[in-house]
Structure 1
Amino acid sequence: MKNTRIFSLLALLLAFLVSTSVMAQDAKPKASPPATATGKVGGATVTINYSSPSVKGRTIWGGLVPYGQVWRSGANEATTVTFDKDVLVEGKPLAAGTYSFYTIPTEDKWTVIFNKTAKQWGTQYDEKQDALRLTVTPSKAPTMNERLKYDINSNGLLLSWENLAVPVKITAKK
């Protein structure tokens, strides 16, 4: 009886140590942690959910993110953009809703894509599901951004990473 209790206590202690070790492994920082940007553009609330990779000394544009290819505009799951009201994006109408957000970068122009399939892994892009495609012009960022970040301001959304800024004009539809 005494041996059974000691064995049970040892088994319980071992289970506790293993579960604590597993939880500690999950607690380490992710390489591309989840992030959210939200704000008002006119009367519309815009929310962007994305995973934020780091530069880590790598060549980003034309390297890690190849020119001329569809990019999930973040890491891991597809970046999503949610509008609570109908909006105009670069003057083109887009209905309220949640969209996955993709881009096709080049050195001087970017194609910006709002795709109707919001919940998907970032590499499962299907062009047939595009709700809107348009072209924007990137510019040099005022500061170096180690991590990819999105901001919402009165002009729309701004993707910034490394030494590049990509503005996308958004206005509330009247």
Structure 2
Amino acid sequence: MSYNTTLLFLTAVLFTSLSISCGDRQKDKTNAATDPHAHHQQATTDSQGYIDRLNQGLIKQDTLKGSPKRVTMENVGNTHVHLTYRSPGVKDRIIWGGLVPYGQVWVTGAHTATSIMFTSDITIDGQIVPAGTYAIFTIPEREDWTFILNKNYEQHLADDYKQEEDVLRTTVRPQAHSATPRLTYQIKSVNAQSGVIRLLWEKLEITVPFTTN
């Protein structure tokens, strides 16, 4: 191969590589522009790992700002349960009877209502809850709490809460739990017919058992 032919070949390879690289960068910019949630999704993923490490005691001081969106889900038999919530931090604040007043309806998260979706009917405390999506509210007290599922799952805090839209109310008693710096929900499958909804925050835990129908 002559010197000139070799030079032309190398130039063509270099031009092709640069074109591909520029194309990839442009594709990334286009994706970011057309998907406004792309950055938020990445931020949510990052905060998930941070909060898990914080709650496990692997991070000693909570420096995360705000109340990131989190998701937890589980299959209980043939029923899929999907829960979306915001996770506030304790951050040296008095939570029960302070930030979260006793005797008032609480969004049981932060900002928007915590939502939970069941793909089929379930039963809690003998009460049938039809398949669908609901908001979780609670009324904390010094001893027993009221656990609520409400039809209006698209609302800010408890601003638009109406008791007549409740589909379920039941009483739960919080238990002592090791310190949980960031509010965390868990859905746990016990067997093919039953599971539990768990809420952990500060030094308390509430557990709501349910069965599939």
Normalised by the length of structure 1, the TM-score is 0.80
Q: Distance in 2 between matches of 1:43 and 1:165?
A: 27
Question: 1:170 matched to which residue of 2?
Answer: 210
Cα RMSD of the aligned pairs, angstroms, is 1.7
1:147-173 alpha-carbon deviations (Å, 9 max, x no partner): 000001123100000000000011101
Question: 2:113 matched to which residue of 1?
Answer: 78
Query: Would you say 1:121 and 2:156 are equivalent positions?
Result: yes
Equivalent residues in 2 for 1:17-96 (5 A)? 30-96=65-131
The answer on whether the counterparts of 1:102 and 1:115 sit within 8 Å (CA) in structure 2 is yes
Q: Distance in 2 between matches of 1:106 and 1:42?
A: 33
Structure 1: any 5+ residue segments left out of the alignment?
1-25
Q: Which has the higher contact order (CA 8 A, sep 6+)?
A: 1
Q: Distance in 2 between matches of 1:136 and 1:92?
A: 14
Choose between structure 1 and 2: higher strand proportion: 1
Q: CA deviation at 1:118?
A: 1.3
Q: CA deviation at 1:107?
A: 1.4
Query: Would you say 1:132 and 2:168 are equivalent positions?
Result: yes
Amino acid at match of 2:162: D
Normalised by the length of structure 2, the TM-score is 0.66
Aligned-pair identity in percent equals 43
1:1-23 alpha-carbon deviations (Å, 9 max, x no partner): xxxxxxxxxxxxxxxxxxxxxxx
Query: Would you say 1:104 and 2:139 are equivalent positions?
Result: yes
Amino acid at match of 1:169: P
Structure 2: any 5+ residue segments left out of the alignment?
1-39, 44-63, 190-194
Choose between structure 1 and 2: higher helix proportion: 2
Amino acid at match of 1:116: K
Deviates more, 1:37-46 or 1:60-69: 37-46
Q: Distance in 1 between matches of 2:169 and 2:100?
A: 19
Question: 2:197 matched to which residue of 1?
Answer: 157
Number of residues of Structure 1 aligned to a counterpart in Structure 2: 147
Q: Distance in 2 between matches of 1:40 and 1:165?
A: 22
1:25-62 alpha-carbon deviations (Å, 9 max, x no partner): x97x6510000110123331111111000000001111
CA shift in 2, pair 1:91/1:41, >3 Å: farther
State the SS of the aligned residue for 1:152. Answer: strand
Q: Distance in 2 between matches of 1:86 and 1:71?
A: 25
